[in-house]
């Protein structure tokens, strides 16, 4: 993958954004949002190659964010990976049914996350 791809990181915890940014810096162009409304705005404005989306956020959780993204023609095809501590099959199933391409539980390994991002970007391009 070349650096033309961008990643939108959505998490209400700045520490998580910093951690992910450190993992992905140099690999992709990065955008970040700390809430759902900003995530939707950035997704429409920048059309990232992929979105890493937390589930548990105040005001607008990740499920509401993905529902809005998938309902909009401009953003419906952007791959979304839920990256969250909200584990359990019911949470994973809900995320996938709403249109998520993947569901990764925290904590995760950098290598595994990078491979999943690359895979979903490749599938999106195909």
Task: List pLDDT tens digits, range 15-56.
Answer: 999 999 999 988 899 999 999 999 999 999 999 999 999 999
C-alpha closest to that of 120 among 84, 83, 82, 81: 81
Backbone angles phi, psi at 47, to 5 degrees: 45, 65
* Helix/strand number for the chain, H first, E second: 5, 5
Distance CA 54, CA 62 (A): 6
Q: Can you give the pLDDT at residue 87? A: 75
CATH superfamily of 6-125: Response regulator (3.40.50.2300)
Q: Is the peptide bond before 55 cis (omega within 30 degrees of 0)?
A: no
DSSP string, 24-46: HBTTBEEEEESSHHHHHHHHHHH
pTM of the complete model: 0.93
């Amino acid at each position: 993958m070349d650096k033309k791809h961008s990643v939108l990181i959505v998490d209400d915890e700045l520490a998580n954004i910093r951690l992910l940014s450190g993992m992905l810096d140099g690999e992709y162009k990065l955008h970040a949002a700390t809430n759902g409304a900003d995530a939707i705005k950035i997704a429409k404005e920048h059309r990232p190659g992929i979105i890493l989306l937390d589930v548990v956020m105040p005001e607008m959780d990740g499920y509401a964010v993905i529902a809005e993204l998938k309902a909009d023609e401009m953003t419906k095809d952007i791959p979304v990976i839920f990256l969250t501590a909200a584990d359990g099959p019911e949470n994973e199933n809900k995320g996938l049914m709403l249109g998520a391409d993947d569901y990764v539980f925290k904590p995760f390994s950098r290598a595994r996350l990078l491979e999943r991002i690359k895979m979903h970007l490749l599938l999106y391009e195909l």
